[in-house]
Chains A and B, each alone.
Chain A
Amino acid sequence: MSLIALIPLFPLIGFLINGLGYKKIPKAIVAPVGIGAALLSFITTVLVYFQFKADGQTIIQPLFDWITVGGLNISFAFQIDQLSIIMLFIITGVGTLIHLYSKGYMSHDEGYGKFFAYLNLFLFSMLLLVMGANYLIMFIGWEGVGLCSYLLIGFWNKRSDFGDAARKAFIMNRVGDLGFLIGIFLIIRQFGTLEYLSVFEQAQGLEMGNISIMFITFCLFIGAMGKSAQIPLFTWLPDAMAGPTPVSALIHAATMVTSGIYMVVRSNVLYTLSPDTLEFIAWIGTLTALLAASIALFQNDIKKVLAYSTVSQLGYMFIGLGVMAYTSGFFHVITHAFFKALLFLGAGSVIHAMSDEQDISKMGGLWSKIKITAATFLIGTIAISGLPPFAGFFSKDEILAHVFEHNKAMWALAMVGSFMTAFYMFRLFFLTFTGKFRGTKEQEDHLHESPSSMTIPLIVLAGLSIVGGFIGFPEIFHLPHALADFLSPLYDGSRAVNPEFGLVHLSHSTEWMLMGFSVLLAAVALGVAWFIYVKKETQPADPSQLGGIKKVLADKYYLDEAYQIAFVKPVEKASQFFYSTIDKKAIDRVVEGTGDLTSLLNRLSTKLQTGSTGFYILVMSIAVAAILILNMGTEIADQFFSIFNAQTK
């Protein structure tokens, strides 16, 4: 058994142990098994990385022939290359930290073992998603993480609104998956295979703008819209915050929701061939980034703010992909994984300290009470706001520079979103950690810093949020862009089909100017937030008190209500119509009608059987006479007579 196969195997074993032994395995063993599985997986990833780095060649690890139908052969194989190895580091690395954090966070929960089993199953599915060497394995992981997301959002399923959130997430993702599935079918039609290497090699022979590639990339992107929460399939992600906070951090911030970006970067040859799809992606990303950021401005639930922020940041990643800056988009995946996991875990630590309170209007002044959480949360806030030299600054700035080159209007919108991001994040920070405490007396007495199993992950992630951006210095710093150099072989195909790929035309002075402008904007947003929430001590408004545009934003543009009217109600109506009108009234009426007809004939014929011979003879004579009269001279009469004559002779 090769090392590579061990990476997903550990979490699978962890899942089986904790899943099958649920309620029988003592708590003291559950956590070591769960965390150990993630850690072993991480260690194996490191080993595989060195194996891979030795010659830098893509490793294909076939495990077995999986499905053979007719001419189609789908192998079960893993692919280790630059892209998957980075994803592996994120998944197993951040995954291990979050498993560790869960040990403390979930310690009082009765579903402790179940929780670790699900988390391990998630890791397994997510690893399949990024390690598979063909689109079918990606799809299996894709749906697998959807299942785990469903199970974990609805983890506390005694609350029916949590169940609703879980169901909504699964069904919305299913809508996206449907696109992904059609994309897979189209790939088979076009290329006769699903193996990445073969598909991308064949694709290099096609010309730009190929119509079937456009369909393929578009359909696959529909899948990404679902999984990565883009317009119009994003409304599940904020609701998904019903799940325990470690789940929000791992699945709904750091890993699963970035699958869409992974998929596009993985298929970069196909996307480069289809500029129309890319343009579409860029605009969807822009609108999502802006829409979600504007909703986040007036949310009072600490996790909801972070959730909309995630949707918005995912939008930025797609903007990057849409303008063909694949590396920049993926760079943001990496830095976002650090700082957003940090922010969510920080939020979890706050919620833990606040006795399960999530409303920031009841918080305030927590800085002195939970110092580690507060300091690390501040680092995350700076990182996401794009202030140098923290991680978010580098990745976001790189995206914005590419957007500027691509389309100035799009850049302007992205800058607006960026301003809002810095504002709502500092609003969140100030309202939570500064000023006076606004909660109840009991909450205040109970305030405490979280145990070390929770703060260690915070500190590690804070460190990564500080230095994570250094893997990609901008060119103007005259320092290496390690990430771009590392990922470069992935884009050989894109370079082959589009000679323009990867060329930057911005002058250094423009780039300095852009960078200066975005830093200035973030600083202004910080200042405004400070002025409103610290200087003037403005209290967060009760959403029901808001009016005008603020109310629309706080109520999320009424999208949920609109979807209810546009989709949910019509489906309910249609199903009622199909059942009670067509099935019961139309089809069954016909079926029962045949039965009724038979019994009617039966009743009529019964009446004829009077038992009186005279009656029978009468009827017979009438009938014969009728036949004779009606068919006089016709064949029947002739025949009748000929038979009659023959018999009487």
Chain B
Amino acid sequence: MTDYLLSILIFLPLLAGFIVVLLPKSLEPKSKFIALAVSIINLLISIYLFRAFDGSATGYQFMEQKPWINLDLGNFGTFSIQYLLGVDGISLPMVLLAGIVMLAGAVSSMSIDRRPKAFYTFFLLLTSSIFGCFVSLDFFLFFLFFEFMLLPMYFLIGIWGGERREYAAMKFIIYTLVGSVFILVVMLAMGLSVNAPMNSETPTFTFDFRHLADAKNYISGSVLDQSSSIEWLGWPVRSILFILLLVGFGIKLPAVPFHTWLPDAHVEAPTSISVVLAGILLKVGGYGFLRIGIGFFPEEALNFAPWIAGLGVVSIIYGAFNAIAQDDLKKLIAYSSVSHMGFVFLGFAAFNNEGFNGAIYQMFSHGLLSSMLFLVVGVIYDRTHNRLIQNYRGLAGKMPLYTGAVIIAFFGSLGLPGISGFIGEFFSLLGGFSSPHLSKWFPSIAVLGIVLSAVYLLWALQRMFFGNFWVNRDLKDQMHDLNIKESILLYGLGALAILYGVWPALLLDVTNKSVEFFLQSIGQ
């Protein structure tokens, strides 16, 4: 049983999705419990994996390997696609985060009553593909899950979204499809260039992450051979493909200027889908870029380090400025996501232990805090269907529990020490400062982000929560404090954010060794 834990993470939600589809009409309201149960089981498995993981070892653990598609091309060679799963200290935090966020999403979507069967089918498909993305060790398999996430997401926004849901869903699809095409191109080029090290006369073309990460396996003379001099429009092909990955994953992260799908998607998406989107979907961009972009194109990545850092810093500052300009709370938080995810790129560009660990920590922490923030918006929206900041004042007196949760989420988000966000931002910045590959200007400018985040978050806090209680329109009676479900969700996530803020070793013990190993493998 424990040999197939990673497969269970993927196939349990998939199976549950089929069951939900087949549910008779009378049992339709029960579908939310199926999703909830699956989310709980997946979280428990993730926690088990996290505990059982050997942080002192290098390489992948809990591996599963099955040949999947073998295409014999005669003299040309063999095309081998595997069903290959495994986790290391880089992907495992994302698996745990997926477990936490998907459960939060499942709980917060329990109030969805429109077409629940369809909703939960998509939700479970999404769950399956998100876990699949983080545990796949075969590029083909990874890409399959990566693509597969778009479909349920498109429908979840397009059907259960707000007024402009179709526009938002379309924008989401256009952006991410462009990104996917870029990544697909790289994948195909990889498949034609890498030979699995086997004792056969003809080459075995492979998508195995472990082989792709090793320069020795690239067939000499192939498109992606390290010493290849193939150029296109005067650029080395490897550099072009790296740029494709940078943009492809940059859209997902999202990095400015590839970010404008995010505010729209968030504003239109229902609360639980916003939670999933910000909490875990964006991390696929960061994770994919690290594993594939940097892992398989180390030299190009290093050459482009100032560009990666530049994208990060621009996102941090630009996102923060945009957040200041918002009067819709959800949009403000969406832009704050852009700003905070900028630290991830900054950390990556550092090419050192501090930076990589910081970026991973930042992703994990942002997952917790942004889930919390979108749940915070959901609380208001559920009560009044209005998210404009100026329509609320003095909520603190009326909703003390809610205000407490908001304060934890806001201060965590603005990087207060003692809450997880601080560790991630601290080490991403420290990485930038101690990196020989970057000008000190990058982190020096990025630091301004911590002042700007205080500006917009405290401004929102003051406008909505302080002062005398006042709510626009006749919504006063509906402004009741958190119910049990909301309290558990918000304070549970808040407790986790504080736990990872005061005890960073919980995560760093898992990531440290793998990051070190990863850095070695890319020659740092």
Chain A residues at the B interface, C-beta cutoff of 8 Å: 22-23, 65-72, 139-140, 143-144, 147, 150, 154, 157-160, 163-164, 166-167, 170-171, 174-175, 177-178, 181-182, 185-186, 188-189, 571-572, 574-576, 578-580, 582-583, 587-588, 591, 594-595
Contact = CB atoms under 8 A, between A and B. Distances in A.
A621 to B, nearest CB: 35
B116 interface: no
B458 interface: yes
B227 interface: no
A68 B503 CA distance: 11
A613 B323 CA distance: 57
A13 B19 CA distance: 49
Chain B contact residues: over half helix, strand or loop, or mixed?
Answer: helix
B462 A164 contact: yes
B394 interface: yes
B354 interface: yes
B512 A68 contact: yes
Contacts of B353: 69-72
B429 interface: yes
B448 A178 contact: yes
B284 to A, nearest CB: 21
B381 interface: no
22 contacts: A23-B400, A68-B508, A69-B357, A70-B353, A72-B353, A72-B354, A140-B418, A147-B416, A150-B458, A157-B396, A158-B467, A178-B450, A185-B434, A188-B430, A571-B324, A571-B452, A571-B455, A575-B323, A578-B318, A583-B260, A587-B257, A587-B260
A335 B190 CA distance: 72
Contact of A158 (B394, B444, B454): B394
Chain A contact residues: over half helix, strand or loop, or mixed?
Answer: helix
Contacts of A178: 447-448, 450-451
A157 B462 CA distance: 9
B147 interface: no
Interface of B: 170-171, 174-175, 257, 260-261, 318, 321-326, 352-354, 357-358, 394, 396-397, 400, 411, 416-418, 423, 426-427, 429-430, 433-434, 443-444, 447-448, 450-452, 454-455, 458-459, 462, 465-468, 504-505, 508, 512, 515-516
Closest 7 pairs (CB-CB, A-B): A70-B353, A579-B325, A575-B324, A157-B466, A185-B433, A575-B325, A140-B417
Contact of A66 (B322, B448, B505, B515): B505
A583 B411 CA distance: 27
Given A69-B508, A171-B454, A181-B429, A574 B321 contact: yes
A578 B318 CA distance: 7
A69 B451 contact: no
A139 B515 CA distance: 26
Q: A69, A72, A167: which has the most chain B beta carbons within 10 Å?
A: A69
A171 B447 contact: no
Contacts of B411: 147
Contact of B467 (A160, A177, A580): A160
A167 B321 contact: no
A65 B454 contact: no
A482 B221 CA distance: 80
B416 A143 contact: yes
Contacts of A579: 321-322, 325-326
A595 B174 contact: yes
A610 B326 CA distance: 49
Nearest to B320: A575
Nearest to A143: B417
Given A185-B433, A188-B430, A188-B434, A67 B505 contact: yes
A70 B450 contact: no
A163 B466 CA distance: 7
Nearest to B455: A171
Nearest to B509: A68
B447 to A, nearest CB: 5
Given A140-B417, A160-B467, A578-B325, 6 more contacts: A67-B508, A69-B353, A70-B516, A159-B467, A186-B433, A579-B322
Contacts of A150: 458
A608 B394 CA distance: 62
Nearest to B501: A140
B354 A591 contact: no
A70 B171 CA distance: 41
A492 B272 CA distance: 60
Contact of A174 (B260, B427, B451, B505): B451
